[in-house]
Amino acid sequence: MRLHLCAVGRLRAGPERDLVDDYLSRLDRTGRPLGLGPVTEHEVEDKKNLGMGAEGLLLAKVVPDGAALCILDERGKTLSSPEFAAALAAWRDAGRQDAAFVIGGADGIDPVLRARADLAISFGRMVWPHMLVRVMLAEQLYRAATILAGSPYHRV
């Protein structure tokens, strides 16, 4: 199952970019034998500052047709890492070809795109900067692959 990390904004060179690249590289090595990957990053920008609706349209364009859609939202479910891994495995095992993970802009995710989501998850009740959410998502995708592979990376 191909994975798509879809986000509003560009992640420039720096420590966050380095962390995302490291976790996605690890995921590629661990996930491919499990049928997870490759990961493609899709970055969109609302250059005209038209707001959440415009960002939603840009994000919807990069989500592949038929993809399992997971949005990251502070009002979403707070999952454990094994629960997140199980959701990925369930999509993969159901024959989904793609899974897209969407990180919205500063105002959140457009309600139209939100309504299409198969899953809404939260990294807690605190609001996180988008660049850190991307790092945390990349790490959790890698962690999910290690859980599914039975690796000792994830300890209970």
The answer to whether residue 156 sits within a structural domain is no
The answer to whether residue 118 sits within a structural domain is yes
pLDDT confidence of residue 52: 85
pLDDT confidence of residue 156: 62
Residues 10-58 pLDDT 10s: 999 999 999 999 999 999 999 999 999 999 999 999 878 778 889 999 9
Cut 0.75: pTM above it: yes
Residue with tokens 């995921």: 27
Higher pLDDT, 72 or 156: 72
The answer to whether residue 155 sits within a structural domain is no
Average pLDDT over residues 6-12: 94
- How does the average pLDDT of the chain come out, rounded? 94
| Per-residue pLDDT at 70 exceeds 90 | yes
24 is in which domain, residue-wise? Answer: 2-149
29 burial type by CB count under 10 A (0-12 exposed, 13-18 middle, 19+ buried): exposed
Average pLDDT over residues 126-141: 94
The answer to whether residue 34 sits within a structural domain is yes
The answer to whether residue 93 sits within a structural domain is yes
Phi/psi region, residue 9 (left: phi>0; alpha: psi -120 to 50; beta: rest), is: left
| Per-residue pLDDT at 88 exceeds 80 | yes
| Per-residue pLDDT at 100 exceeds 90 | yes
CATH classification of the domain holding 37: 3.40.1280.10
The answer to whether residue 31 sits within a structural domain is yes
d(CA 114, CA 109): 6
| Per-residue pLDDT at 68 exceeds 90 | yes
Based on the structure, what is the number of domains in the chain? 1
Average pLDDT over residues 89-118: 95
- Amino acid residing at 19: L
The answer to whether residue 154 sits within a structural domain is no
